[in-house]
Chains A and B, each alone.
Chain A
Amino acid sequence: MNAGAQRQSRTKAVIYWAAPYLVIAAVLVAWELAVRLNGIAPIFLPAPSVILKYLFAMTVDGSMPYHLSVTFLRILVGFSVAAIAGVLVGIAMGMSPLTARIFEPWIGALYPLPKISLIPLLIIWLGTGESYKIVISAVTAFFPVVISTFAAIRQVDTGLMKAAKDLGANTRQIQYNVVIPAALPGIFSGLQLGMGVTMIMIVAAEMIGGTSDSGMGYLLIHAGQVLETEKVFAGLIVLAIFGAVITSAQKRIDHLIAPWAHREH
């Protein structure tokens, strides 16, 4: 390869790497210019520079970190409850046909129900405090976790189980040493789905509870009601970044625990 061609291919590589960032920058500049040149009122569409200013102010005065950490804690609690219950019930169903038979009609009937429709009932029973937010998110996330776990256990390659038995493993040893590790990748994908709906339901629950006074959902709905559109945008940006961080952290943890599972992709 001659020097000219080499330079050309390096330029191509730089463009390939920089393209998405350039597009983001271009959109932001266009947005900023459109707002300024057309004099759009900030209650409809604030300029990116203004949103950034608000974001900075809300970070410094502590309101953004406060609401974000409250939401994060609620998500952690709701997700933990759903994950533990979902994985345990899913494993029990996968290993005992009787348990599966008992749980299946309940799951079949309740899974298609939009969980958000349970909110009025939960508010009657639990009020609008913490327990209602945790319960609604845990109930919602339980289903994808339990269904994925059950499916993962049932789809374990029977060849692996036969091989373990041939090598002298008893039923219990096969369950612990073969079935559960073989099902882990499927269980993890259920947990990722569960985390996704937990985040949705916590933020939604924070918006709906009338007496709610904390969390990102509250921040958004409250700012929206008083037409502080800059704060709404600031909250959305933080939530989007937060969601991306949680998702990628979860993938990293999965990869640490089950490094064999992602090799083929």
Chain B
Amino acid sequence: MDIVVANLTQVFGAASRPVVALDRVTHTFPSQRFTCILGPSGCGKSTLAQIVGGIEPFTSGSVTIGGKGSAAQPLGTHSVMVWQHLNLFPWRTVIDNVAFGLEMQGVPTAERHQRADALLTSVGLRGFEQHRPPQLSGGMRQRVALARALIMERPIMLMDEPFAALDAQTKIVMQEELVRIYERSKMTILFVTHAIDEAILLGDEVVVMTARPGRIKEVIPVNLPRPRSQEMINTPEFGRLYDRALHLIREEVLLSMRQQQEATAGST
């Protein structure tokens, strides 16, 4: 299922002092591909993912999901979100967090636990079914969040800086886990990040966004072979892509920092 975004504009705040988060963003995220959205903080990349997921409304433009001929359905029915802050339910056990979506659909306990068990095993959390999220490490909580999204079996997975809070080593392990899941499942993935190496390592293409107002600055195709692994970071091709993205993003980051400084100075 392609995700076709056309002239998407998102304006926050009062009419007197509007903040343009997204400015006429147009892009087709191809079906079954892994697209990374890279941009400085505050550029509206999370907003874009949330709009595609039907979580936030938007001001104007259009977002269409689905192949040719199929009727357009409301946003959110084909996608599932993995959140930056995970948003796990702390009062639920790990297995009941993972099975939440099925429980809401009315799937009987035995069946949904069986399916959740299978997923927990595949993400390496066997034996932690009855723990609660606050008892787990950051990497383990991340796996729970991933399993909770995967159990929905929706064709599109939206990921909003999911690994930003992890330590460097755990991040590497989770990236490899995600690559493995993607290469097996062939979902369509939109992965929001501000880390250049992460975007290139994971994505089939990297959409680089400008500082506010968020526009698409350039789309970098990533032709590194799959299966991907961390060793590819040392290849000349990776280095070339990294330099390209760094060059594009540097001026946007500087611009974004200047904007934030002005905003801080203006508010005090």
In the complex, which range does the number of interface residues on chain A fall in?
Answer: 20 to 34
Q: Which residues of A contact B148 (CB under 8 A)?
A: 167
Cβ-defined contact, B91 with A260, below 8 A: yes
Contact of A163 with B91 at beta-carbon distance under 8 Å, contacts A168-B104, A169-B104, A263-B134 already known: no
Q: Which residues of B contact A77 (CB under 8 A)?
A: none
**Proximity string of chain B (80-94) to chain A, C-beta cutoff 8 Å, 1 when within and 0 when not:** 110101010111100
Instruction: Identify which of residues 132-151 in chain B touch chain A, using a CB-to-CB cut-off of 8 Å.
Output: 132, 134-135, 148
Cβ-defined contact, B87 with A159, below 8 A: yes
Q: Which residues of A contact B85 (CB under 8 A)?
A: 159
User: What is the minimal beta-carbon distance from B248 to any residue of chain A, in angstroms?
Assistant: 31
The reply to whether the CB of B19 lies closer than 8 angstroms to some CB of chain A is no
The reply to whether the CB of A166 lies closer than 8 angstroms to some CB of chain B is yes
Q: Is the interface of A mostly helix, strand, loop or mixed?
A: helix
Cβ-defined contact, A166 with B89, below 8 A: no
User: What is the minimal beta-carbon distance from A210 to any residue of chain B, in angstroms?
Assistant: 49
Q: Which residues of A contact B87 (CB under 8 A)?
A: 157, 159-160, 162-163
Cβ-defined contact, A166 with B104, below 8 A: no
Q: How far is the CA of A168 from the CA of B106 in the complex (A)?
A: 11
Q: How far is the CA of A184 from the CA of B90 in the complex (A)?
A: 12
Q: Which residues of B contact A168 (CB under 8 A)?
A: 101, 104-105, 152
Instruction: Identify which of residues 233-265 in chain A touch chain B, using a CB-to-CB cut-off of 8 Å.
Output: 258-261, 263-264
The reply to whether the CB of B191 lies closer than 8 angstroms to some CB of chain A is no
Q: Which residues of B contact A258 (CB under 8 A)?
A: 91
Most-contacted residue by chain B among A157, A162, A170, A258 (CB, 10 A): A162
User: What is the minimal beta-carbon distance from B97 to any residue of chain A, in angstroms?
Assistant: 10
The reply to whether the CB of B53 lies closer than 8 angstroms to some CB of chain A is yes
- Which of B76, B89, B134 lies in contact with A264, CB distance below 8 A? B134
The reply to whether the CB of A223 lies closer than 8 angstroms to some CB of chain B is no
Residue of B nearest to A169 (CB): B104
Q: How far is the CA of A157 from the CA of B90 in the complex (A)?
A: 12
Cβ-defined contact, B100 with A164, below 8 A: yes
Q: Which residues of B contact A182 (CB under 8 A)?
A: 89, 91
Cβ-defined contact, B55 with A162, below 8 A: yes
Cβ-defined contact, A167 with B91, below 8 A: no
Q: Which residues of B contact A81 (CB under 8 A)?
A: none
Top 4 closest pairs, chain A to chain B, by CB: A163-B87, A167-B101, A169-B104, A159-B87
Binding site for A on B (CB under 8 A): 53-55, 76, 80-81, 83, 85, 87, 89-92, 100-101, 103-105, 132, 134-135, 148, 152
Binding site for B on A (CB under 8 A): 157, 159-160, 162-170, 173, 177-178, 181-182, 184, 258-261, 263-264
